[in-house]
């Protein structure tokens, strides 16, 4: 059912937004480079706990309509065209964009578009910095208690990026190998879960000597996610299975040894 546009905020016209033409007031070296964080204002969101959960089952491939700095030069925003995920959207909702949990700040049900803000840390840690006007992105709304869990538990908190190093066709399947950092690879295991650009996938093999892992996309998945549209050398967002991170945390904290000594 379509949402009435009479009670929702409208986007300003793109002429007034001028997102793609604005230049930041801060130099890019300060925006995209790690720097000391300022104290958080009272009204900012603090993700100190899991507030949204995803399954890694992509609902829709949306298209980036506009992105860039707003008129203040401080906020980097992205406008995405997406008929499906706007069916029941509200301000403040979480939507995973290529596996990155982002907050809806504005939406327009007539234009079938919504806007999200991208923090400097998000641009540093994810592949979203490579997007441009016209780019296609994976979209998934946060799950509800009644949602069927078709993938695995995905938080939308990207651990880092990987680089596509090979894409090989076998029948109607597509094999993709991704290279990533040792800090991420240590959490990746054969037949384990991983979210690649927000898509829940099963790891086939891990190649420790190459710092790589691979996975296979069946024909249906190829037609409904953005990964096959990318080229060798492009980045993908990676989120490893959170269970592996919890296990490492317990082992490094000495919890297991304390239990054994009792």
Indicate which residue of 32, 81, 142, 157 is catalytic: 157
Among residues 156, 147, 131, the alpha carbon closest in space to that of 80 is found at 131
d(CA 184, CA 11): 39
Burial state string for 78-99 with b = 16 or more CB within 10 A and e = fewer than 16 = bbbebeebbeebeeebbbbbbb
Catalytic residue flag (residue 20): no
Is residue 136 within 8 Å of residue 88, measured between CB atoms?
Answer: no
Is residue 117 within 8 Å of residue 106, measured between CB atoms?
Answer: no
Indicate which residue of 82, 94, 100, 126 is catalytic: 94
Catalytic residue flag (residue 101): yes
Indicate which residue of 75, 103, 105, 211 is catalytic: 103
Catalytic residue flag (residue 103): yes
**Token pair of 226 as six digits:** 């953005």
Indicate which residue of 5, 35, 84, 119 is catalytic: 119
Indicate which residue of 82, 100, 101, 135 is catalytic: 101
- Helices within the chain (DSSP H only): 14-17, 28-31, 120-125, 182-185, 219-224, 242-252, 255-260
**Token pair of 180 as six digits:** 């990533």
Catalytic residue flag (residue 94): yes
Indicate which residue of 11, 52, 54, 96 is catalytic: 54
d(CA 107, CA 207): 43
Catalytic residue flag (residue 153): no
Indicate which residue of 84, 147, 181, 202 is catalytic: 202
Where in the sequence numbering do the catalytic residues fall? Answer: 54, 94, 101, 103, 119, 157, 202
């Amino acid at each position: 059912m379509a949402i009435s546009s009479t009670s929702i905020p409208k986007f300003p016209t793109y002429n007034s937004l001028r997102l793609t033409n604005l230049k930041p007031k801060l130099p890019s070296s300060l925006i995209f480079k790690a720097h000391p964080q300022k104290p958080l204002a009272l009204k900012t969101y603090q993700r100190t706990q899991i507030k949204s959960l995803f399954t890694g089952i992509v609902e829709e491939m949306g298209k980036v309509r506009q992105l860039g700095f707003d008129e203040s030069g401080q906020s980097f925003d992205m406008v995405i065209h997406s008929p499906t995920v706007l069916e029941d959207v509200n301000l403040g909702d979480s939507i995973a964009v290529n596996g990155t949990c982002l907050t809806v700040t504005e939406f327009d049900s007539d234009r079938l578009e919504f806007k999200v803000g991208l923090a400097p840390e998000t641009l540093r840690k994810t592949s979203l910095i490579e997007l441009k006007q016209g780019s296609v992105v994976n979209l998934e709304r946060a799950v509800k208690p009644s949602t069927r869990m078709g993938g695995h538990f995905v938080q939308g908190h990207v651990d880092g990026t990987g680089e596509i190093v090979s894409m090989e066709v076998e029948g109607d399947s597509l094999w993709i190998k991704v290279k990533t950092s040792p800090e991420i690879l240590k959490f990746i295991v054969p037949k384990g879960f991983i979210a690649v650009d927000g898509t829940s996938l099963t790891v086939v093999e891990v190649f420790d000597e190459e710092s790589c892992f691979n996975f296979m996309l069946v024909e249906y998945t190829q037609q409904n996610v953005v990964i096959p549209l990318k080229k060798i050398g492009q980045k993908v967002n990676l989120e490893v299975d959170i269970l592996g991170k919890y296990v490492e945390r317990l082992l490094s904290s000495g919890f297991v040894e304390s239990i054994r000594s009792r």
